[in-house]
Structure 1
Amino acid sequence: MTITTPSTDLDPYSDAAILEPYELYRTLRDLGPAVRLDRYDAWAVARYRDVYDALHDHETFISGAGVGLTDELNRRMAGAPITMDPPDHTKLRAVVGKPLQPRELRKYKESVRERAEGLVDLLIERGAFDAVVDFAQVFPLSVVPDLFGWPEEGRDRFLAWASAGFNALGPLNERTRAGFPALGEMWEYLARMAAPGALKEDGWAAGLLAAAEDGTISREALPTLLGDYLTPSLDTTVSALSSALWLFGAHPDQWDKVRTDPSLVPNAFNEVIRLESPARGFTRQVAKDRTLSGVDLPAGTRVLLLYGSANRDERQWTAADEFDVTRADASAHIAFGHGVHGCMGQGLARMEAHALLTALAAKVRRIEVGEPTWRLHNTIRGIESMQVTLHV
């Protein structure tokens, strides 16, 4: 049965919707499987099953026309694996993702664990600290740039560049425009890093230069592919780590469960990013006419797949808005995407988060949190600042 596509003037990119998104998501889910966003000439897909199905039909819901909301910025961001379809995507993903495979990541598990324990000890001694600047940002910035082999130059700008890159996937609003200077800086930096000798020889990113040398990838693609190692590896992890502190601080009973049974850490992290998905969502373009749960989507339609809504869909999850570290199906979330475009760096993000949560569980009895201030950002759902005290 084909149903009429509902439309709405609701704006998921308004300040109010960004700061408090979950009622808007519920409204979109209740309106239908796909809802036309009048102001953006796009459709929002907000239910879990429909987002999941779209992610697993990459021949219809294509990434090759970009994964942002505006055609202009999609054209500018072309060339990265996230904006490609198989077989080109498969080829580039194999090169970029090689050091991010589980077997490779295991080599660094012990050093990441040691850094996590050192940070937790430092923050316990400090007393009060900021969840974002002192915890969620400082840890990936102490791990990721060294693993990838970035030089010291530019590291103080990585977070600003990552934020601007993700903002540009939303509409061409003031948040996007404000990031244009940072994006210009980033592209100049990546062009310099693509030169021989710019990157550390023992880092993961150097493998891309080697692939260009042997002809596996083109030299022209190097700056864009290096950007795949920079932007996605930081902002989403920062969001997940700060949200973890907030949720465990607000739900001490759930923290007690993790402290009592640290083997819950992987499932607890899944529940954190299910409930507070770091990426609100990305778009796809419909390559051929497609009916999605009864809604006709003609070829050329731009659809916004809302991960943050899907992961709270009451059609999929029991007590969807509750935080439960023992939730049996927490791993079914799509916070990291799914299908051929599932996040390449999710193994690294999990390794960092598991190390920190394990270190906290071993030493911290209670996580005391203040009221969080949330970021105004087009794509990333995250805390901007929040006071925390760790009680031992």
Structure 2
Amino acid sequence: MSNVDASPRNNACPVGQLPVSGQRAPDGCPVSARAADFDPFTDAYQQDPPEYLRWAREQEPIFFSPQLGYWVVTRYDSIKAIFRDNITFSPSIALEKITPTSDEANAVLASYGYAMNRTLVNEDEPAHMPRRRMLMDPFTPEALKHHEPMVRKLAREYVSRFIDDGRADLVDQMLWEIPLTVALHFLGVPEEDMDTLRKYSIAHTVNTWGRPQPEEQVEVAHAVGNFWQFAGKVLDKMRQDPSGDGWMFYGIRKQKENPEIVTDSYLHSMMMAGIVAAHETTANATANAMKLLLSHPDVWREIGEDPSLIPNAVEECLRHNGSIAAWRRLVTADTQVDGVDLPAGARLLIVTSSANHDERHFTDADLFDIRRDNSVDHLTFGYGSHQCMGKNLARMEMQIFVEEFARRLPHMRLAQQTFSYVPNTSFRGPEHLWVEWDPNANPERKDAGRRASTMPIRVGEPSRHAITRQVIVDSVTPVAEGIVRLRLVAPDGKAMPRWTPGSHIDIDCGTPDLSRQYSLCGDPAETNVLEIAVLREDQGRGGSTWVHTQVKAGDRLTMRGPRNHFRLDEDAGKIVFVAGGIGITPISAMARRARSLGIDYQLHYSGRRRSTMALLDDLAALHGDRLHVYAGDERHNDLAALLRTPESGTRIYACGPAKMLRALEICSAHWPDDALRTEHFVATKGQLDPAKEHAFEVELKDSGLVVKVRADQTMLAALRAANVDVQSDCEEGLCGSCEVRVLAGEVDHRDVVLTRAERDANNKVMTCCSRALGGRLVLEL
């Protein structure tokens, strides 16, 4: 890759006479006028990059910026694909100066012996991955846990310094110093003068991603040069006794074992880059998060009332208003992005903050929703082999800071102010964040215990089980023998979360340890209510009995979701719906939707007798002669006859007892492989018996890692232990949320999610329960 031209192309037009849009820039370059005007150093970009680039996401997802000399990429799928392919899209320019500096400034840097080399951020293969693997262990969730007490102690001490003042600049008085202290502790660097290191860090940011004016460049160069020498002196001192704690000491010891992989220049560059990366992004991210949370008082109040929301709130803050606005990549071979031809040597500014607001991936992307169930999909930490190694340290710190503020200063609010940012393309956070509150209303003045209480911190990506919502039971109505329908509404009377047919919610049945899933059975168009129907099963696990005996109108319940892993194919030519017993709940919503779309459908509903079959009157009124009822004391559904003749373009959706679903599988065996879609109540195939399992390896194609899965360990657990984010929900093979694409290797499928055709295709795996038939799987992770 060193043969690729990496020289700056500022103010150049690379697109010849092939117009990217119907307009030309003022200099004649065939790009749109808005592309010609793009300037990431303006205040509009600094204040809100996603809004500044909304036009591009919607109209021109990739465009050339003559001012910058870069192609700008704005959509989620394209940016994730660029991260995934680190060969075609080299990270080598990630730390290159985006603004060329003067000869005088360059001479100043040279006088300090400045020789910044490759780091984990901007290194190409094959050198990058061996170093990353060698240096990764201290970043795993298990290794990071021991930093938590120190972070908590610092947060408590810093808040105590200003809690009685009634006003504070959170950036100056806390959010810069603590992440810097934690970063130095993590690296093993002795704590030096905070103000000086902050100046160095800002100078490094401006030097790399900013546009310093000629008169500023020399001053910035001196600060960066001093930073370089500081890093070298600390590293030299560490080498005298490399037995200390911290990542740099760890790196020095690894250098002795593998000097050809961990070199002197590499350690020096990582020392300097690590100080910046380990604290500046966290400081900025927390400041952005607090600004966002306090701008939404209702959300801030909810977090104070329910701290379990904090982990996902942090992810949503990182998505909605993260501290990394963009990264850069160099095209190494002629390629295409979003239909635009890119030549080798083209430079890309991939605006991850814009991708995080892409409606194609995030529904209502501009909405700040701390219960969003795919917030963790954000690209703020990057993706693939160059994903931020320190992501879980940042998550830990942010969770602790938000919890400390929410517990001790729940009445805190934003002060009137104008927010300013250091102009640069990539790192962003307010320079100051003034907040205020009434000290007389501090909760700990009445309850001293609030000062020291804490909540458990999740080191790693949050589980969807942590995303809770309080709901009020509007009514409890019997709808059949042993079945009640619950109508749930929001405590404040506002709209409930949107949902689609096939969705379910989780309800805590008296305790979070007794959480059960119930399919939604109402009308998605009725926005202020969610409906579930619950069958009492006295031999069950206790959830339904609790609902029937304890829940009454006016009660407050804890809910998670909605989530949908049983989606309706709205493009189907015809649909056969089959429901058994309480399995009518998701099917009823699907049939309602098919009717509204004008899809040809039939609804076959079986039960022991009519008195035990829920929703019969409603279904008959809505579906007329499309509804076929099979009460056991009257007649039975002949599934073999129903499915005797396969129909092209027809889907079969079924939910009900396991016996019925097994019969459907047999009776539809001669249908197209993907015709039958089922929803199961329980799964048993995924249960792990270590005595009957074998260990295997999982190669992560996008990350360049190889993870070993023990015989007594699920694939999901092994991936999380290796610092790899994989979302999950049921962890029983029921829901499909932990699905990962398979590139090679044979899968031992143990889920009840995939269709027969999907299993035969062998290109998907549910990591919570399925395993490898052989010794290795290759996954797209």
Give the TM-score, by structure 1 length: 0.91
The aligned residue for residue 63 of structure 1 is 91
Which residue in the other structure is 1:12 paired with? 40
Alignment of 1:48 with 2:90, yes or no, is: no
- 1:133 is aligned, of 149, 172, 182, to 172
Amino acid in the other structure paired with 2:73: V
Task: Give 1:348 shift.
Answer: 0.9
Which residue number corresponds to residue 380 of structure 1? 427
Q: Could you say if the C-alpha distance between residues 233 and 325 of structure 1 is closer, same or farther in structure 2, counting changes exceeding 3 Å?
A: same
| Counterpart-to-counterpart distance in 1, 2:174 and 2:271 | 26
Residue in 1 that maps onto 2:710: none
Q: Normalized per residue, which structure has more helix?
A: 1
Question: Residue 179 of structure 2 contacts residue 280 of structure 2 at CA under 8 Å; is this kept in 1?
Answer: no
The 3 A distance-change label for structure 1 pair 266 and 313 is same
CA distance in 2 between partners of 1:107 and 1:31 (Å): 48
Partner of 2:300: 255
Contact 2:295–2:414 (8 Å) recurs in 1: yes
Query: Does the CA-based 8 Å contact 1:372-1:385 persist in structure 2?
Result: no
Q: Is the 8 A contact 1:291 1:297 kept in 2?
A: yes
Alpha carbons of structure 1 residues 32 and 155: separation in structure 2 relative to 1, 3 Å? same
Instruction: Give the aligned residue type for 2:251.
Output: L
Moved more, 54-63 or 24-33: 24-33
1:294 CA displacement: 1.1
Q: Does 1:312 align with 2:357?
A: yes
| 1:181 equivalent in structure 2 | 222
| Paired residues for 1:114-129 under 5 Å | 114-129=153-168
User: Relative contact order (alpha carbons < 8 A, sep ≥ 6): 1 or 2 greater?
Assistant: 1
1:285 corresponds to which of 322, 330, 348: 330
Deviation at 1:280, TM superposition (A): 1.4
Given that 1:33 and 1:292 are in contact with CA atoms closer than 8 Å, whether structure 2 keeps it comes out as no
For 1:95 and 1:72, how far apart are their aligned partners in 2? 34
Pairwise CA RMSD of aligned residues?
2.5
Deviation at 1:187, TM superposition (A): 0.9
Question: C-alpha distance in 2, partners of 1:212/1:240?
Answer: 32
The match for 1:28 among 50, 56, 70 is 56
The whole-number CA distance in structure 2 between the counterparts of 1:317 and 1:210 is 44
Q: How far apart, in 2, do the equivalents of 1:30 and 1:243 lie? A: 25
AA in 1 matched with 2:58: D
Q: What aligned pairs does 1:106-255 form with structure 2 within 5 A after superposition?
A: 106-153=145-192, 155-170=194-209, 173-174=212-213, 177=217, 178-195=219-236, 196-197=239-240, 201-214=244-257, 215=259, 216-255=261-300
Matched residue SS, 2:247: coil
Is the CA contact 2:180–2:280 (under 8 Å) kept in the aligned structure 1?
no
In structure 2, what is the equivalent of residue 298 of structure 1?
A: 343
| Counterpart AA for 1:41 | G
1:99 paired residue number = 138
Aligned CA distance change for structure 1 residues 258 and 390 (closer, same or farther; 3 Å)? same
Task: Name the count of aligned residue pairs.
Answer: 389
Change (3 A) 1:390 1:149: farther
* Structure 1 spans left out of the alignment, 5+ residues: none
8 Å contact from structure 2 (residues 328, 347) kept in 1: yes
1:279 Cα deviation (Å)? 1.4
Query: Hey, which of these two has a bigger chunk of strand by percent?
Result: 2
AA matched with 1:52: K
CA contact (8 A) 2:158 2:173 kept: no
Quote how far apart the aligned CAs of 1:156 are: 3.4
| CA distance 1:365–1:64, change in 2 (3 Å) | closer
Residue 374 of structure 2 corresponds to residue 359 of structure 1? no
CA–CA separation in structure 1 for the residues paired with 2:316 and 2:148: 22
Structure 1: which amino acid aligns with 2:225? G
Q: Distance in 2 between matches of 1:44 and 1:209?
A: 38
Output the CA distance in 2 between the equivalents of 1:328 and 1:280: 22
SS of 1:284's partner is: strand
Structure 2 CA distance for partners of 1:24 and 1:68, relative to 1, 3 Å: farther
Report percent identity of matched pairs. Answer: 28
Q: Which moved more, 1:355-364 or 1:39-48?
A: 355-364
Is the 8 Å Cα contact of residues 120 and 356 (structure 1) preserved in structure 2? Answer: no
Distance 2:85 2:157 in 1: 44
CA-CA distance at 1:65 after TM superposition: 4.4
What secondary structure, in the 3-state scheme, does the structure 2 residue paired with 1:280 have? coil
> Distance in 1 between the 2:430 and 2:397 partners?
18
Give unpaired runs (5+ residues) of structure 2.
1-17, 22-30, 102-113, 443-781
Residue deviations 1:282-324 (CA, integer Å, cap 9, x gap): 1100111111121111111100000111112233222222221
Pick which of 319-328 and 138-147 moved more: 138-147
Give secondary structure in 1 for the equivalent of 2:71: strand
- Aligned-residue offset at 1:199: 8.0
Q: Which has the larger radius of gyration?
A: 2
CA deviations 1:140-169 (Å, max 9, x no partner) are: 133222232212345432222222222233
Contact 1:169 1:282 in 2 (8 A): no
Aligned: 1:369 with 2:384: no
Letter in 1 for 2:41: Y
- CA 1:54–1:36 in structure 2 vs 1: closer, same or farther (change >3 Å)? same
Q: Distance in 2 between matches of 1:171 and 1:354?
A: 29
* Alpha carbons 1:34, 1:44 under 8 Å: kept: yes
Instruction: Give the direction of change, closer, same or farther, for the CA distance of 1:71–1:98 in structure 2 (3 Å limit).
Output: farther
- Are 1:79 and 2:126 counterparts? no
